[in-house]
Structure formats: structure tokens, C-alpha cells
């Protein structure tokens, strides 16, 4: 199978390529094919993932994988959610983190629960009527101050379970084992393996 990865985010691209390495899957990125990123106009992670996958598949003439993901903070009613990457008006990760910390300034540690959510979509063609859809969530809390140099997005603020570390303090390998994106992609690979096994029987 040959796939186009429909993302322009270099952090997501590194994670997806690492998670798919070693599989019998040929991977090309949309940027390698000169395909620009789709406008993320959906109201949900699923809508945006399908928009991105359909955009890449139609221009590449290949099957496409796309994800949409973000951070949901309970004390903020689930924000930033689908606007995670654009939370500070498209000024980048540092500005997004600064805004998040400001909005949580008066929220005690016990109430700073949050999760990363990822919806991953595979379209076999641009007009695929039944895309494969897989989801992953990663529970954590928002730290008082950023820590760590790995990862991207809100990783320096995302405290992971009982580890006492932020996602940005984890090795890429451990992050891929635990993360929302890793969970979703492992489900997707399992679905592909089942489909191949069914065709071979």
C-alpha cells in the first residue's frame, strides 16, 4: 500500500513516520508532492481529519492518512479543542502555551485535568465512502510551568499520568507508546492487518 500523509505539521509528521516505519506501507508526504495543506474548517476533529485526507487523496491520487488532534482542558469546558493549533490566533506554540497558562492562572492543580484527543482517518481514495476512523485519548494535567525540550504543541505543559513528567520530557519512543496519536495509529494498523488477512483467506 502507498499512502500520502496529509499533514504540514513537522512534529506530527515525525511521529506518524516513526509509528508507520517497518510496515509494508510506502509513505510519501503531501509536501513532497507539492500539495498544500487543506483549510481546517470543520467543527470537530473528525470533520477536519476527513477534510485533510480527502484534500490530499484527491490531489495525489493515492490513499491518504490524516489526523486532527488537540488538547481538551476540563476547567475550560473542553477548550482549546479543535482550535488547539490556532488558540493564540496562529501565533505558534509558545503563544498558545502562554494563553493557556494565563487562562488557568487561578485554577488549582487538582482541577487542571486535560486530555489530548486524536482522530485518525484513512481514505483509500478521495471518494472512499467508508473511511477507516480510529481515535485515541491521552489523559493528563496541565502543569504550572513548561518543562522539556521534546515534542511540540502543548507538550511542555502536559503532565503525563503518574510519571511526574511532561510529554516534552519523554523520549520520542515512550511518547509514541503512550500518546493519543500512537493509540489511534496502532488501531488503524490493526484494522489494515485484519483487512489484508480477510483478503488473503
Catalytic residue annotation: 68
Residue 126: name the closest of 190, 35, 191 by CA: 35
Question: CB under 8 Å to 149, separation ≥6 — which residues?
Answer: 168
φ, ψ dihedrals at 81, nearest 5°: 55, -130
CB atoms within 10 A of CB 152: 16
Contact 66, 56 (CB under 8 A): yes
Contact 168, 178 (CB under 8 A): no
| Residue 10: alpha-carbon gap to chain centroid | 11
Amino acid at each position: 500500500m502507498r499512502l500520502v500523509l496529509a499533514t504540514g505539521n513537522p512534529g506530527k509528521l515525525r511521529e506518524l513516520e516513526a509509528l508507520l516505519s517497518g510496515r509494508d506501507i510506502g509513505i510519501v508526504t503531501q509536501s513532497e508532492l507539492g500539495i498544500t495543506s487543506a483549510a481546517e474548517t470543520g467543527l470537530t476533529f473528525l470533520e477536519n481529519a476527513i477534510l485533510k485526507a480527502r484534500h490530499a487523496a484527491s490531489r495525489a491520487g493515492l490513499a491518504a492518512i490524516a489526523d486532527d488532534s488537540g488538547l481538551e482542558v476540563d476547567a475550560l469546558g473542553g477548550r482549546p479543542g479543535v482550535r488547539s493549533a490556532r488558540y493564540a490566533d496562529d501565533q505558534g506554540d509558545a503563544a498558545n502555551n502562554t494563553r493557556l497558562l494565563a487562562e488557568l492562572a487561578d485554577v488549582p492543580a487538582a482541577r487542571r485535568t486535560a486530555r489530548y484527543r486524536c482522530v485518525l482517518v484513512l481514505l483509500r481514495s478521495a471518494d472512499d465512502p467508508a473511511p477507516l476512523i480510529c481515535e485515541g485519548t491521552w489523559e493528563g494535567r496541565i502543569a504550572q510551568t513548561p518543562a522539556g525540550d521534546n515534542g511540540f504543541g502543548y507538550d511542555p505543559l502536559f503532565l503525563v499520568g503518574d510519571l511526574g513528567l511532561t510529554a516534552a520530557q519523554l523520549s520520542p519512543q515512550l511518547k509514541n507508546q503512550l500518546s493519543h496519536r500512537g493509540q489511534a495509529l496502532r488501531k488503524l494498523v490493526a484494522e489494515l492487518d485484519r483487512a489484508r488477512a480477510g483478503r488473503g483467506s
